[in-house]
Amino acid sequence: MMKKEVIILLVILTFSSCKDKTEAKTSKMVNIANTEKAGKKLRHVVLFKFKATSTPDDIKKVEAAFFALPSKIKEIKGFEWGLNNSPEGINKGFTHCYLLTFDSEEARAIYLPHPDHLAFGQVLSPHLEDVLVLDYWTE
């Protein structure tokens, strides 16, 4: 009977030890998540699918309006873009990809409701069929 109690005690101690390490690790991850990511950049990926009725000139106006944002919004630290050229054929009609870089979530929070970003949305919206946005911290 004593042997069984010792085994049960060892199992309990093992699980409680694992729990403490997991809680410490989780606590550390939360602390990291609540701070800015040292040396990392916040990427804001935007994909556009234009309406079939949008002309090449309409799309050029949208591109020009997007290109102007980094000169108007100082929180944008990097900007690049390109047209889809994947041979896989699974882009689901998305043709334009934009990658904006921010130093912090606060900078992104300033950008999103910024009057110049909202004005860009007014240029874009008559021509936009669909949009996909994904943000991530660089690893």
Domain ranges of the chain: 1-35, 42-137
Instruction: Provide the pLDDT for residue 38.
Output: 82
Neighbouring residues of 41: CB distance < 8 A, sequence distance ≥ 6: 77, 78, 101, 102, 103, 137, 138
Question: Rounded to two decimals, what is the model's pTM?
Answer: 0.72
CATH number for the segment(s) 42-137: 3.30.70.100
pLDDT tens figures, 13-72: 444 444 445 455 444 444 444 446 788 999 999 999 999 999 999 999 999 999 999 999
Residue 110 confidence (pLDDT) above 80: yes
Token code pair at residue 41: 């950049």
Neighbouring residues of 126: CB distance < 8 A, sequence distance ≥ 6: 58
Token code pair at residue 122: 């007014």
